[in-house]
Amino acid sequence: MKITLSLIKADIGSIGGHTQPSQLMLDTVEKLARKAVTDGLLIDVFVSYTGDDIAILMSHTKSENNADVHQFAWDAFIEGTKVAKSQGLYGAGQDLLVDAPSGNVRGAGPAVAEIEFDHSLESPRPAESFMVFAADKCGPGAYNLPLFLAFADPMYCGGLMLPQMIKGFSFDVIDMDNTEGDSILKLDAPDDYYGITALLRDNERFGIDSIYSRTFEHKAASISAQRLHSIAGTYTGKDDPVALIRNQGIFPAPEEILSAFTKAHYVGGDSRGSHVMPLMPVPLNTAVTGPYCLPLVSAVGFSLNSDGYFSHSFVDFFDNPVWDEVRRLAQIKGLEMRSQGWSGPAMLPYTELEYGGFRDTVEGLLSSFKFQ
């Protein structure tokens, strides 16, 4: 049978500022999710949070972009928003940018990643394992560097030299400046290696939308890549992307996919969505409480049984002492960048400033310039 994994995430309110959702919000979303399983809409579900964003992971047989599945997630976020408002929480419903989604929630605010695949558990996929990435306080291209290195560079993924992967992977790159629809360019690695990097170096405009095996034509990864300020026309929060990554066998192994996250690479986002700071790997269900709210990313691993149910337990990849050193590196890099304050690369360029107030301030000053 064909199984679809759907991952939908949104910031719908948080305690004491942009920190974490309340337990009652999580319980409300979880209760509705379990009802969707009981009602037969979903096979299985997993609810979690990273920073102030609630993520709903779902397995089902409804295919990608299914209106009923997306409507369920939207309704769950609406109910969670009601709880946030009743508790007086900050930013209640901020990622819900329309009154009602038209068919699915893509372009309506929440981050969405989905993969449909044949789940026969036969060669070349006798077992189905996958990873769920969720990021907070960062821009849509946060995964560009680590996922490119994991699927295109044998310095980070030795598996690329094996027969099942040596033909490489195809990257669907999306131009996020195009708000009329999904503008996609398919490029192959290693053939188009330099062309891919020429695009992905710009995390604010170009992002990886999906990745495919060139040998087996299986979809390996799906990444949410959209800019909320392009949708809303003003700052409502940072884009905070999610990613679904199938692993092992014909795809890179978890340790190969995670390898490049040891860089704590710089991404756009952070406070008011307008700075440049390192991406810190954190355990699942981590609140944003650090100085200048470093961008965060969590990574969780699941297996899928023959009926499409998630494994009874999951692996929290970043909840391991080995990542403490990377977290220290991220903090050191963050402190160094913040020592530069508002100057130069410490903040995003004017064209990418997410917080509208910054642009308003500059526009007000520009009108006062005079030729001498």
Per-residue pLDDT, 355: 59
- Which pLDDT band holds residue 102 (cuts at 50, 70, 90)? low
Per-residue pLDDT, 98: 79
Global confidence as pTM? 0.92
Look at phi and psi of residue 74 and say left if phi exceeds 0, alpha if psi is from -120 to 50, else beta: alpha
Tell me the average pLDDT across 273-296: 90
Residues designated catalytic: 11, 235, 238
Per-residue pLDDT, 211: 98
**Is pLDDT of 27 > 90?**
yes
Which segment of 27-31, 159-163, 227-231 scores lowest on mean pLDDT? 227-231
- Which pLDDT band holds residue 353 (cuts at 50, 70, 90)? low
